[in-house]
Structure 1
Amino acid sequence: MCSDKKQPAIFLAMALSVPLAAWADPLWLGRFSASDAAIPAPWKIEHLDQRVPPTEYKLRQWDGVFAIEARASKSMALLGRIATVNLKKTPILCWQWRIDAPVASADMNRKSGDDYAARVYLTFVVPPEQLGFATRTKLRLARTIYGDQVPDAALNYIWDNRHPVGTLQDNAYTDRARMLVLRSGARQAGVWVQERRNVLADFHKAFGEIGGELQGLAIASDTDNTGEEAHAGFADFRFVESEEACPITKNQQETGHLNVLQPTS
């Protein structure tokens, strides 16, 4: 089934209605624990297309890691939150994720193959004067159709099925969203993998030397186009300074999941 989902990241702002002040430490964007009875605010599920079943999200302890578990079955939904972080001060995003297997028939070159076992979305606000006339026109049209939640730019970190790590290209639906392959294939499936990304550097690599303020963060597993199933986990999202190591979390201390694999460069 090929849904008319467009690029899901353009809808991220729909899910970002809870004030950032709800968190005591704004650098931690996703630190889950046994004390959480449910997915905590300001994280919010956004079901984008009512014709498509939503991906299911829940908290669980997975191999000792308190995490968000995502299960997709011919489905799509985002789990997102506000992420107003000063990237000049803390440009490094750290997190852990895992998949059971990649989406076998996915192909990010085609709209009908735009599915991933795991994605991390980041959306940005760009000063209007730094967007070309054609881009501003396309954004105005998109916002006429979908509302003001359409972001100026979106960067997607993906766990792909076939493209080499480091591949960077436009999303199949829009050139305002760029896809960056961090993991590919099944070799690293079945274990927690730690990531460390310089979001500011990746943003400039994807969109050029323009200004951009981080607006939101979301995670997803989606299989609505291919009709397959996917199972993924996400944990321990935190921004740190350039020279600061990714923190060793309580999850990792208690389970020994310390740098399971080297982060991608």
Structure 2
Amino acid sequence: MTRRATCLLLVALTASGLGAQPAAELPPLLRADGALSAAWRFVGFPKQQADLPPTRFEAGRADGVPAVRVLTASSYGTLVQDWRGPAPARLQWRWRLDEPLSGGQAPADILTKAGDDAALKVCVMFDHALDRVPFVERTVLRIARRVSGEALPAATVCYVWDSSHPAGLQGANPYSKRVRFISLQGQGAALARWVAESRDVAQDFVALFADELPDGAGTPRSAAPVVTRVLIGADSDNTASTSSGWVSDLRWATGASAGTP
């Protein structure tokens, strides 16, 4: 395994060790007084693997909207919420990118290991059946689970704001196919303005992991495994670049509310 792949597993392990609890709603990112909520915990690379600067998460306002500011500088980090249960109808949030990945030693390119950074991301982890995972990746996961004593996530769907490709790009993380992504905003997207997103994460899981499901692309969304955690983050450690953005109003939407981001 590469250093980056090992770190990805260990980061997932750190998140999984936080003790996911059943919940009906996602806790808000901000408290009523505008400070960061303690329900969301920071997870970065383990120091024994990489002494990387942490991505910064700060409570603030952008155009009057209370939000979490996400700042990278050759850094990595996520805010994680342990939430376990079947995926509700939609996951909704608002985000804006003020400064795309720039000033780095290498160009950002989410399809390559050297450029695998994202200025903003919202990810959902699933309790995917291990027997659906290809043999080599399954073996790596089993070893890591045995050594750690934790049930590492076998599947993660990430929604990214990409700085180098047009929106709509889908694929697997170049370090691990356990993480697959959809680029919702991409190169050329307007900066410094709020964008509302609304995703059926169960359907997106089925589409992205169709090769590991019994009926492939024809599988209904009900076949998606339960969600184990949700996170927001950004990283610029591979390209040694910087970025600045915001995330707000992250929530599950059900019933009539599912149609309005």
In the superposition, the TM-score normalised over structure 2's length comes to 0.81
- Aligned-residue Cα RMSD (Å) equals 2.6
Pairing 1:60-209 to 2, within 5 Å after superposition: 60-87=60-87, 90-104=88-102, 105-143=107-145, 148=150, 150-208=152-210, 209=213
Unpaired segments ≥5 residues, structure 2: 214-222
**Residue of structure 2 in register with 1:40 after alignment:** 37
Give the 3 Å change call, closer, same or farther, for CA 9–178 of structure 1 in structure 2: farther
User: Which one-letter code corresponds to 1:83 in the other structure?
Assistant: W
Give the 3 Å change call, closer, same or farther, for CA 211–194 of structure 1 in structure 2: closer
Unpaired segments ≥5 residues, structure 1: 249-265
Give the 3 Å change call, closer, same or farther, for CA 106–146 of structure 1 in structure 2: farther
Give the 3 Å change call, closer, same or farther, for CA 70–44 of structure 1 in structure 2: same
User: Which one-letter code corresponds to 2:200 in the other structure?
Assistant: N
**Residue of structure 2 in register with 1:213 after alignment:** 226
**Residue of structure 2 in register with 1:258 after alignment:** none
Count of equivalent residues: 240
> Which one is further off, 12-21 or 230-239?
12-21
Q: Is the 8 A contact 1:92 1:242 kept in 2?
A: no
Could you list the per-position Cα deviations for residues 121-140 of structure 1 after superposition, in whole angstroms to 9, with x for gaps in the alignment? 11111234444544422311
Distance, in Å, in 1 between the alignment partners of 2:145 and 2:89 is 29
> Which one is further off, 209-218 or 237-246?
237-246
> Which one is further off, 232-241 or 195-204?
232-241
Give the 3 Å change call, closer, same or farther, for CA 132–109 of structure 1 in structure 2: closer
In the superposition, the TM-score normalised over structure 1's length comes to 0.80
Deviation at 1:188, TM superposition (A): 2.1
Distance, in Å, in 2 between the alignment partners of 1:53 and 1:73 is 8
Distance, in Å, in 2 between the alignment partners of 1:119 and 1:69 is 13
> Which one is further off, 42-51 or 150-159?
42-51
> Which one is further off, 196-205 or 5-14?
5-14
**Residue of structure 2 in register with 1:229 after alignment:** 242
